[in-house]
Structure 1
Amino acid sequence: ATMSWLCNSANCQFSVFALTTIGWILSSTSMGLVEWRIWYMKDTPLYPPGIACVGIFRVCIYRHRTNSTTTKFCYRYSYQDTFLPFEIYMAQRFLLTASIFGFFGRAFNILALRNTSVKIFEEDTYNSFIVSGVFNVAAGVFILIAVLQNYDAIINSRGITFPPSLQMPFKPDVQEVGTAIQVAGIGVLPMLLTGMFSLFYKCPLMLYQIFPTT
């Protein structure tokens, strides 16, 4: 019975690794997407109409010049930009840190799964599962904070003082949640759940080591 439980536990850990990988890929992908906030801007005497996709690392502006043509201009943020609001500034740090933590979480998970598959039930194996869980949970928390901060900024219609060269108002007429926030939100769930699973699902291995069957 103990051996059967152990095999099931190993299979579960492989499933955990797959889910963690999916969450890590989704959260990392969200960093490269620009559609975190969607701004709809009407025509005014100061600013032309258009749609702006405000991302964590850049903003892309779409202007309707004629009925059949649309121009696109993207501006990548730099460290010298002081106009970035707190939630975007922090999201840059949080998402980069989460991507690195997610990578190390997967690396320790692979090490633990390797030891499990070759029947190496040592303390290093348990520690690898724990370290993997810690990295994944920390990554999930960082992503969750970035998502919630930017979602709150959209709900409360917070503006951004973009440079005059971009010809964008402080606040748009309509501001919506973009697909990038949805992707990051979906990715954070497996990161947190599998991280917690790795932290607490080590007991069967420890029991097998302490009370081996003959």
Structure 2
Amino acid sequence: MVLFINNANCQIAGFALLTIGWILCTTSMGLDEWRVWYMEKPLVAPSGVACVGLWKVCIQHHNRKFNRPTHCYYYSHRDAFLPLSIRVTQSLMLAACIMGLMGKALIIFALRNVYMGPPHKNAACHQFMASGILSMVASVCTSITVLWNYYSIMKEEGVAFPPLLHLPFKPDIQDIGSAIFVAALAAFLLLLSSLSFLSYKSPLVSQVHPQGSDI
């Protein structure tokens, strides 16, 4: 029993990493600062700053005394004006969050098998392996989202927002938003957690040695 517990210590740390990575992943998906647009000739906001996210765009209104978004416009993957980069990454981030949640559930069952009693055959090992694969895929989906948005910013990709927003197709300056860094950290933590889960090895082989010594 002690062998199982000692062998799962690394996976407990992996569970903590997975939890933090999943929280950061879901948080970054809802942030609006994926792409920050700076416009020298603003059409609506006096400062000419708009934050473009995966699910919404917020026009920032900056005064000397306060900073707040004037309004946010929400959209979905069904909106035809969205470029392919945003529509695909919306689905990728949703998939990453779902797989991360499924991985957390499997880890809870795996750790329960380890600490409540010896796993039945290789049950815990299979659960750790499945959770590691899910976490790895979630990390890949998040990484693709980060890299695709970074490439779109460097390429100065435009977005044909509805006329009611009075936003240009392309800004004068397009910069990286804080959400990209949050998502990149989430992808890194998810990767570390997946490696810890995949490194788990059931100590069933070590139970054979006492039998051999009695002969």
**TM-score relative to the length of structure 2:** 0.87
- SS of the equivalent of 2:57 reads strand
- Where does residue 41 of structure 1 map in the other structure? 39
Q: 1:22–1:47: structure 2 CA closer, same or farther, 3 Å change rule?
A: closer
Query: What letter corresponds to residue 34 of structure 1 in structure 2?
Result: D
Q: Deviations over 1:22-46 (max 9, x none)?
A: 11110111011111111111126x6
Once the two structures are superposed, the pairs formed by residues 136-151 of structure 1 within 5 Å of their partners are: 136-151=135-150
CA distance in 2: counterparts of 1:189 and 1:71, whole angstroms: 30
Q: 1:104–1:67: structure 2 CA closer, same or farther, 3 Å change rule?
A: closer
Q: Deviations over 1:179-209 (max 9, x none)?
A: 111000001111112112212x232534345
- Where does residue 87 of structure 1 map in the other structure? 85
Q: Is the 8 A contact 1:47 1:169 kept in 2?
A: no
- Where does residue 160 of structure 2 map in the other structure? 161
2:65 matches 1:60: no
**Unpaired segments ≥5 residues, structure 1:** none
- Where does residue 17 of structure 1 map in the other structure? 15
Q: Percent identity?
A: 42
Query: What letter corresponds to residue 203 of structure 1 in structure 2?
Result: K
CA distance in 2: counterparts of 1:177 and 1:73, whole angstroms: 21
Residue 79 of structure 1 and its aligned partner are, at CA, apart by: 4.4
Q: Is the 8 A contact 2:36 2:177 kept in 1?
A: yes
| Aligned residue among 181, 185, 205 for 1:207 | 205
**TM-score relative to the length of structure 1:** 0.88
Q: 1:173–1:8: structure 2 CA closer, same or farther, 3 Å change rule?
A: same
CA distance in 1: counterparts of 2:132 and 2:88, whole angstroms: 23
Residue 8 of structure 1 and its aligned partner are, at CA, apart by: 3.2
Q: How many residues are treated as equivalent by the alignment? A: 208
**Unpaired segments ≥5 residues, structure 2:** none
Q: Deviations over 1:61-112 (max 9, x none)?
A: 1245x76687611100034411111111011100111101000001001111
